[in-house]
Amino acid sequence: MKITILGSGTITPSKNRNPSGLAVQTSEAWLLLDMGPGILRRLAEADIDVRWIDLVLITHFHPDHISDLVPFLFASNYSYHEQRTEPFHVVGPRGLEQFYQGMIHLYGHWIVPSGNRLVLRELDASREDSFVLGSLTVRSTPSAHSFPSLSYRLEADGSVLTVSGDTDYSEDLIQLAQGSDVLICETSFPDDMKVSGHLVPKEAADIAARACAKKLILTHFYPPCEDQDIIAQAAGIFSGEVSKAEDLTIIDV
């Protein structure tokens, strides 16, 4: 499993950090987790072709996590090379179908992939849910953020990746992340700036420790996180490897 950080920031504009998004390559598939504004540009910078994407996982419907879904769907119908003919999946919390129909109402047929290639799937945001796509198993659990919001666990090629999405401290996330090789966890603010609905480093570290994760990658940074040593704040709680996500970084699991 190979992870490419596409966006480690938030909706606050930053010249170095795109809003939320990451790509995951397994032996059989390419995935995107969230598509904040600018993620398509980041894909191009990472030399990842949008036609390769087999599955898009959406954590929730805030603009910094889903805005590039519209141009992604638009681009699926246009190519100067051979167009993708295989189906691709877009998965998110219950309400995704309504969200998609709302986008069609705004943008028209231009964003409807031709040839019935789009497969939409809704997951229950009130309890654990799961599905299997080839050799990939995806599990989800509600996150402690605006409803509906999800955290995801990906199991493929003998590796486990858990992605928190936006969340406050969550027992559900601890259970979901048990034994993860990598936990990518939102850390919106430093320890001394706790905000409801988001995590600070010591909380993300405690989640990683209680989940017995091997590696913790902090992400989703508002500007105050650039002014403090948030890795040190997390390392005081979690004894495993801690790192700070940077856009276009590649992590092998």
For the chain, domains (ranges, CATH) are 2-252 (3.60.15.10)
Q: pTM for the whole thing?
A: 0.96
Strand partners, 22: 5, 33
Mean pLDDT of the chain: 97
pLDDT band at 83 (very low <50, low <70, confident <90, very high): confident
Calpha distance 206→192 (Å, rounded): 16
Cβ 151 vs Cβ 141: under 8 Å: yes
Using one digit for the tens of pLDDT, what is the confidence trace for 154-206? 999 999 999 999 999 999 999 999 999 999 999 999 999 999 999 999 999 99
Q: Is the pLDDT of residue 112 over 90?
A: yes
Q: Is the pLDDT of residue 9 over 90?
A: yes
Q: Report the pLDDT value the prediction gives residue 84, as an integer from 0 to 100.
A: 86
Q: Is the pLDDT of residue 48 over 90?
A: yes
Using one digit for the tens of pLDDT, what is the confidence trace for 61-71? 999 999 999 99
Q: Is the pLDDT of residue 78 over 90?
A: no
How large is the average pLDDT for residues 30-48? 98
Calpha distance 9→239 (Å, rounded): 25
Q: Is the pLDDT of residue 82 over 90?
A: no
Q: Report the pLDDT value the prediction gives residue 117, as an integer from 0 to 100.
A: 95
Q: Is the pLDDT of residue 100 over 80?
A: yes
How large is the average pLDDT for residues 27-49? 97
Number of residues assigned to the chain: 253
Cβ 137 vs Cβ 155: under 8 Å: yes
Q: Is the pLDDT of residue 226 over 90?
A: yes
Cβ 69 vs Cβ 59: under 8 Å: no
Q: How many CB atoms lie within 10 A of CB 44?
A: 11
